[in-house]
Amino acid sequence: MVRQLVKFSLSGLMALSVLAGDIEAADIESGEGGESRPFVRGGGSDKPFIAQLGRRSMIGGYSEVHFRYEREEGVTEELLFEAKRFNLFTFTPVSERTRVAAELEFEEGGEEIKVELAILDFEIHPSFTFRGGIILSPLGRFNLSHDSPANDLTDRPLVSTRIIPTTLSEAGMGFYGAFNPAPSWRITYEAYGVNGFNTDVLTGDPDGTRIPAGKGNFEDNNTRPAFVGRLAVSPTAPLEIAASVHTGPYNSWKVEGLRVDNKRDLTIFALDWDYSWRRFEVLGEYAGAWIDVPRETPIFADSQRGLYGQVNAHFGHGWIATLPNSKLTGVVRYGAVDFDTDVDGDSQQRLTLGLNLRPEEDTVFKLDYQYNWLRDGFNIEARSAAVLFSAATYF
């Protein structure tokens, strides 16, 4: 019921008036049949809330717990319970055009605490809004829509964590918006200047070139901004296809005006898709990365790639008499990453089968089985399997 009453609008396409209790019709995105559409399904404009602070601020969040049993080559690697995440987010419509939002994440029982989102939006026009702060970089759809209650498997896709380092939050500013070139068509865009990655891309992980090791560059290490942007086309409400790119230098090539290295760029290109048909959903993502590495040090990989494809099938709506809003979802996902496209090995493949129960739309219990094929830098294969059970809910 909360989701029906209040929609969390980070995107600026839905302007919430808490005092009047209405939504300005000019900012509602309509699809076929007149239904409203969030900026990204499952993303920032698609979160529920439980409380209002004072006259206009709102607060909400989600909680997630895991059980994991994993064996590799017949040896138990993990058998544990984990308080995986506890996130809090707030949203405040300061005025008709100005909005402020934030998200604070507690991971691994509080071992890691970080500000995942802290943004200021100023709507110049419904199709052109300024955004600045700590943003969720629009690099692939999953980075924008990664909340555990919104997804149907426990672990995030390999490509969305090992090539695109979800959650990728960066300090920056730029613009976003949406427009409708035809009644059923919608085009959305986001474009920001950000600080980008740092040299830990090459040196921060003992396994070799790993892009996630270079994120968290909240103070730019080279005084040269990077660029990130995403363009999404939705010819009809059930279908969206998008392309995105993140590019810019990651190394420090000048020290006090003295050139000490060549400027080296890191570029990540991504394609993502999301299609719904009756009880089925087909979604996925592809990403390729190109890293300018020192030629005198051939141990670093200069190109990586990965993808995942997933099919969800919803069924069993109302089968449980005491839970009339419940439904079941069967999930199949295949994913693969290659950390060095120029050599054999240094790669991973994963097949995941899942079944989950949603007693309500915002709460989910997930049971997954996953099988992994891993190859090290010498192309030696190891296999692992895992059983996962998790529970997650918005609040």
Over residues 188-210, the mean pLDDT reads 96
Decide: 143 and 136 in contact? Cβ < 8 Å. yes
pLDDT at 5 > cutoff 50: no
Q: Is residue 117 situated within a structural domain?
A: no
Q: Is residue 375 situated within a structural domain?
A: yes
pLDDT for residue 42? 73
In this structure, the strands spanning 265-277 and 280-291 are antiparallel
As beta bridge partners, residue 75 has: 72
pLDDT for residue 38? 76
pLDDT at 164 > cutoff 90: yes
pLDDT for residue 53? 60
Q: Is residue 101 situated within a structural domain?
A: no
- Note the Cα 36 to chain centre separation in Å: 22
Q: Is residue 262 situated within a structural domain?
A: yes
Which DSSP letter does residue 156 get? P
Q: How confident is the model at residue 41 (pLDDT cuts 50, 70, 90)?
A: confident
Q: What percent of the chain has pLDDT over 70?
A: 88
Look at the block and give the residue holding tokens 């992994």.
Answer: 372
pLDDT for residue 258? 84
Q: What is the pLDDT of residues 321-333, one digit of tens each?
A: 999 999 999 999 9
Residue of 116, 125, 115, 122 whose CA lies nearest to 100: 122
Helix then strand then coil, in percent of the chain rounded to 5, is 10, 55, 35
Instruction: Count structural domains, the chain.
Output: 1
Among 27-36, 43-52, 117-126, 263-272, the range scoring the smallest mean pLDDT is 27-36
Q: What is the domain extent for residue 267?
A: 65-85+125-394
Look at the block and give the residue holding tokens 């969800």.
Answer: 312
Q: How confident is the model at residue 30 (pLDDT cuts 50, 70, 90)?
A: very low
Decide: 51 and 200 in contact? Cβ < 8 Å. no
Which structure tokens are listed for 329? 């979802």
Distance CA 186, CA 236 (A): 8
pLDDT at 8 > cutoff 90: no
- Distances, alpha carbon 164 to alpha carbons 7, 167, 218, in Å: 28, 8, 17
Q: How confident is the model at residue 274 (pLDDT cuts 50, 70, 90)?
A: very high
Compute the mean pLDDT over every residue in the chain, rounded to the nearest whole number: 88
Which structure tokens are listed for 15? 């302007």
Q: Is residue 12 situated within a structural domain?
A: no
Among 133-137, 295-299, 347-351, the range scoring the smallest mean pLDDT is 295-299
In terms of C-beta density within 10 A (0-12 exposed, 13-18 middle, 19 or more buried), how is residue 141 classed? buried
Cis peptide before 167 (omega within 30 of 0): yes
Task: Provide the b/e sequence for 83-113 (b: ≥16 CB within 10 Å).
Answer: ebbbbbbbbbbeeeeebbbbbbbbbeeeeee
Q: Is residue 21 situated within a structural domain?
A: no
CATH number at residue 384: 2.40.160
Q: Is residue 242 situated within a structural domain?
A: yes
pLDDT for residue 297? 73
Decide: 251 and 204 in contact? Cβ < 8 Å. no
Which structure tokens are listed for 269? 């290109």
Q: Is residue 36 situated within a structural domain?
A: no
Q: Which residues contact 17 (CB under 8 A, 6 or more apart)?
A: 23, 24, 93
Residue of 91, 177, 175 whose CA lies nearest to 126: 177
Q: How confident is the model at residue 45 (pLDDT cuts 50, 70, 90)?
A: low
